[in-house]
Amino acid sequence: MSRINIIQPGGANGRLKEIYYQLETQRGQIAEVHKIQSLRPESIIKHMELYMEIMFSKSELTRAQREMIAVVVSVNNNCSYCATHHGSALQHYWKDEEKLKKLKTDYREIEISNNERALCKYAEEVTLRPQNLEEVDPTIPLKEIGFSDGAILDATLVVAYFNFVNRMVLSLGVEIEQDEGKNYKY
């Protein structure tokens, strides 16, 4: 149960009603992570703009790699809401339920490319040990296997974005939708 008041679609009016309509039209439903921001409707718009830029813009990283990073960050933060949502999105690409399940327990145990394993390790390191980043440069392994600075920036943006969203979801008590986000258009 949400820890703050939210305005449900039936009670929305004005700008919030417009935003809800737009989300439902474009994404198929209104996610709870958006409803939690209903007291500040424009933050929903800014949130979606940032999400679309980080997750859908042109990048050397594939959509699947970005969703994989999202899952790794969310699992490490114990954010089942985001791990579930973005696990569903990743499943559109992987089409392997067992592999996804293993990713959520330990990415080291699944068959993925060396590049993908390095991205997972980077996501884990930056999420769990941010205090070490000045002492140990986590970008070096990515550079050594050929990731460009642009790709490293994109990976970092995904990691940072999901750490932000995970904290919002966890601190405000956002609960997963009944359909577990499976009907959401990613």
Residue 62 vs residues 2, 55, 66, 116, 181: alpha-carbon distances, Å: 33, 9, 6, 10, 21
Q: Give yes or no for a contact between 170 and 73, defined as CB atoms under 8 angstroms apart.
A: no
Smallest CA-to-CA distance from 123 within 158, 164, 94 is with: 158
pLDDT in tens, 127-174: 999 888 888 899 999 999 999 999 999 999 999 999 999 999 999 999
Average pLDDT, integer, range 84-90:
96
Tell me, what's the pLDDT at 180?
Answer: 67
Residue 138 vs residues 65, 132, 146: alpha-carbon distances, Å: 18, 9, 14
The total of other beta-carbon atoms located within 10 Å of residue 66's CB is: 24
Residue 185 pLDDT exceeds 80? no
Q: In the chain, where does the domain assigned CATH 1.20.1290.10 lie?
A: 63-172
Residue 108 pLDDT exceeds 90? yes
Instruction: Tell me the pTM.
Output: 0.94
Q: Give yes or no for a contact between 123 and 34, defined as CB atoms under 8 angstroms apart.
A: no
Q: Give yes or no for a contact between 107 and 94, defined as CB atoms under 8 angstroms apart.
A: no
Q: Give yes or no for a contact between 114 and 145, defined as CB atoms under 8 angstroms apart.
A: yes
Q: What is the CATH number of domain 63-172?
A: 1.20.1290.10
Q: Quote the CA–CA distance of 141 and 137 in Å, as a whole number.
A: 9
